[in-house]
Amino acid sequence: MRLVGHDGAQIGVVETREALSQARALDLDLVEVAPQADPPVCRIMDYGKYKYEQDVKLKEARKKQSRTGLKEIKFRPKIDPHDYATKKGHVTRFLSAGNKVKITIMFRGREMAHTDLGRKILDRLVVDLGDLAIVESMPKQEGRNMIMVIGPNKRYLEEQAKRRARAERDAAKQAAAPAEPEGETPDVPDLEPVIEAVPAADEG
């Protein structure tokens, strides 16, 4: 087998008995990490610690997946401007985080006679979100609710991330550039004219 030390150093090709002996001497385990290789690769490590770290990584990945998904924001057909701005901000934040958003317009009582108001809110929201959002499910009436699903424009988000990265790099370069000392002026040679004496002409 090809043996890798506990510190990641390449020990080389050794016999199984020798690899086990080295692992026991360090009170560690011998773990096969690449059985498909020729020869197979084994590493000396603390298997319990390795398993724990892998479980932690898996839990973090699951948490991240649960954070991204389908969010829902509810509007009323006669929503006031302040509430509209607040809810639009929530939608923007969800989309920027990579989530899809289900927009629900809730109608009550006689409001069902004016479903066009709900459609106007949805159309306005799409316009206000601009390039950030893509309509994935067009508005449709489901009982007393009108529903639309929008998703993030991934290309737009990637472009925004690149712009931020460029701006941060430029700011870092500017901050690292040496500043010119204040109150000092560059040396300028004296420009006073040189007057040469001209001999007087002979009289007479």
Domain spans of the chain, in order of start: 2-48, 67-155
Tell me what the pLDDT averaged over the chain comes to.
Answer: 84
d(CA 23, CA 43): 9
Which pLDDT score, from 0 to 100, does residue 204 have?
46
Hey, what are 12's tokens? Answer: 């080389």
pTM above 0.85, yes or no: no
pLDDT grade for 28, boundaries at 50, 70 and 90:
very high
2-48 to CATH, choices 3.10.20.80, 3.40.50.300, 3.40.50.10320, 2.115.10.20: 3.10.20.80
Q: Is the dihedral of CA 53, 58, 59, 61 positive or negative?
A: positive
**Contact call for residues 42 and 1 (beta carbons, < 8 A):** yes
d(CA 18, CA 25): 11
Class of the CATH domain delimited by 67-155: alpha beta
d(CA 172, CA 176): 6
pLDDT per position as a tens digit, 109-153: 889 888 999 999 999 999 999 999 999 999 999 999 999 999 999
d(CA 185, CA 51): 65
d(CA 9, CA 43): 10
Per DSSP bridges, beta strands 70-75 and 2-4 are unpaired
d(CA 124, CA 127): 5
Whole-number percent of the chain with pLDDT over 90: 49
Which one has a higher pLDDT value, 112 or 65?
112
**Contact call for residues 73 and 91 (beta carbons, < 8 A):** yes
